[in-house]
Amino acid sequence: MVEHTGETKNERLTRNVSELLQELRVAQAGVQILFGFLLTVVFTDEFHEASGFEKSVHLTAVLLTVCSTVLLTAPAAWHRLLFRTGNRERILTVGNRSVLIGLGCLAAAITTTVSLIAKVVFGPIAMTVLGVVSAVLFVVMWFIVPKMIDRNSD
């Protein structure tokens, strides 16, 4: 279905860029909270007594969060650097890809963090179960449901 909004191409691009940047503000809040939590954990006594495996899982979560931060903030930086160059359409195209990959990294970072917490609190079985449940929730809600909504809009 083609949407007719009565906008010019430039007005539509401006609106789309604004919508993208607003969506990024929402996602970025979650990344910041997760990143702050992950950074503070290393300064606790309990962390120093963690196993090498647990420290590796933690570092994986930190690196996934860094990747998510970079990918989710990049479109805002690109917009700021390129907004007067007439590249809005390209910023939107590449920015959309960056955001989708960044959201994937965020989902992986949260899943990894939940898995680590489950491992420390309840052991390896809980780590596996809660990790799988978290990952499935992200995949279903962020990727499958939107496809179902799109399919049903015809």
User: Does any domain span residue 36?
Assistant: yes
**Higher-scoring residue by pLDDT: 58, 154:** 58
User: Does any domain span residue 3?
Assistant: no
pLDDT given for residue 4 in this prediction: 64
| Structural domain that includes position 105 | 9-152
User: Does any domain span residue 89?
Assistant: yes
Structural domains of the chain, count: 1
DSSP string, 76-92: HHHHHHHTTTT-HHHHH
Beta-carbon contacts of 154 under 8 Å, excluding residues fewer than 6 positions away, are 1
Beta-carbon contacts of 88 under 8 Å, excluding residues fewer than 6 positions away, are 10, 13, 14, 16, 17
Compute the radius of gyration of the chain from its Cα atoms: 19
- Summarised one tens digit per residue, pLDDT across range 36-86 is 999 999 999 889 999 999 999 999 999 999 999 999 999 888 888 887 787
User: Does any domain span residue 130?
Assistant: yes
Percentage of the chain beyond pLDDT 90 is 55
User: Does any domain span residue 53?
Assistant: yes
User: Does any domain span residue 4?
Assistant: no
User: Does any domain span residue 2?
Assistant: no
**Higher-scoring residue by pLDDT: 116, 19:** 116
Mean pLDDT of 134-146: 94
**Higher-scoring residue by pLDDT: 23, 72:** 72
The pTM score is: 0.85
Write down the mean pLDDT value for the chain.
89
Judged against a pLDDT cut of 50, whether residue 6 lies above it is answered with yes
d(CA 13, CA 36): 34
Cβ neighbours of 135 (radius 10 Å): 17
User: Does any domain span residue 23?
Assistant: yes
pLDDT given for residue 134 in this prediction: 97
Judged against a pLDDT cut of 50, whether residue 122 lies above it is answered with yes
pLDDT given for residue 129 in this prediction: 98
Among 32-36, 91-95, 128-132, 143-147, name the most confident range.
128-132
Query: For the chain, how are helix, strand and coil distributed in percent, rounded to 5?
Result: 85, 0, 15
